Structure 1
Amino acid sequence: MATKQEKFSDSKFSSHNIQLINYIFISVYDDVFSCFHRWTLEFNVKIGIYSSGSVLAQKLLFSHSCYGDLTPFITYYFDTNIGPKQSTDSYRLITEKVGFSADEILFLTDVQEEAKAAKKSGMMAILSERDGVLLSPDDKHAFNFIKSFDKILFF
């Protein structure tokens, strides 16, 4: 199994590891399930994940959350095959792939450099400040920030 410090990649999942994944539950914040559910069903929001972990790893992990399988709520999966997460070009490619204009896309992250790149591509960007992630005063000045997905409202 990968340690906390390691990134998941397709090559790290042997058939043995895939069988073990059935016993793993990822923990997600309480608001994630309720917001994913509400956003997709009430507001028809299309949720995408952009992670340094592979698409396969993302799907395996999100299918084994403490709230059950979250993959039905996720429409798009992107990994660093699309490009580096701190590159504006990566967010432009994501915009092309999903078929929305950049100003229709909200990008959530806890990394200011990723938020900068997304914003520079034309997306809206919000920083997330959760347990263990402390945003600097500069981060909070440069971007809107949230402590819970419940603070994000769609009309």
Structure 2
Amino acid sequence: MSHQRLNAVQASPETYKALIALETYLQSCGLEQSLTELIKTRASQLNGCAFCLHMHTTDARKAGESELRLHLLAAWRESSLYTPRERAALGWTEALTLVAQTGAPDADYDAFKAEFSPAEQVQVTTLIGMINVWNRLAVGFRFQHPKAA
């Protein structure tokens, strides 16, 4: 286990304030909380971000998400527990989180646009970008999650 490298909030409070402003908007833009937590959790799994995984699985449980769906999230493609809308968002999450490898394939976008309005497409895409920013801050600076839930 490594130790935190830097307290990013203390080092650049202005940056943190700007990130929180965007995060606040995304939390209130009308997307379902269950969907946003699934997106944040899946991206954090792909990025290996323990801090964000702890936060978003905890938030998802508080919002009523089941343990089973959280446990199966890494294998969502093989599970029947996710709605078509969730599946489209998870596919898009993977495509954009791994964009250097995937190039954001047309098939993933086509599935995504079939389930989301144009405004929602922008909101979900921004949400995916936002959790990837948080993951990079947390992994890069080695944010430490609480020892207990």
User: Which has the larger share of helix?
Assistant: 2
Asked if TM exceeds 0.5, the reply is: no
Structure with bigger RCO (C-alpha 8 Å, 6+ apart): 2
Taking structure 1 as the reference length, what is the TM-score of the superposition?
0.33
User: TM-score, length-normalised on structure 2?
Assistant: 0.33
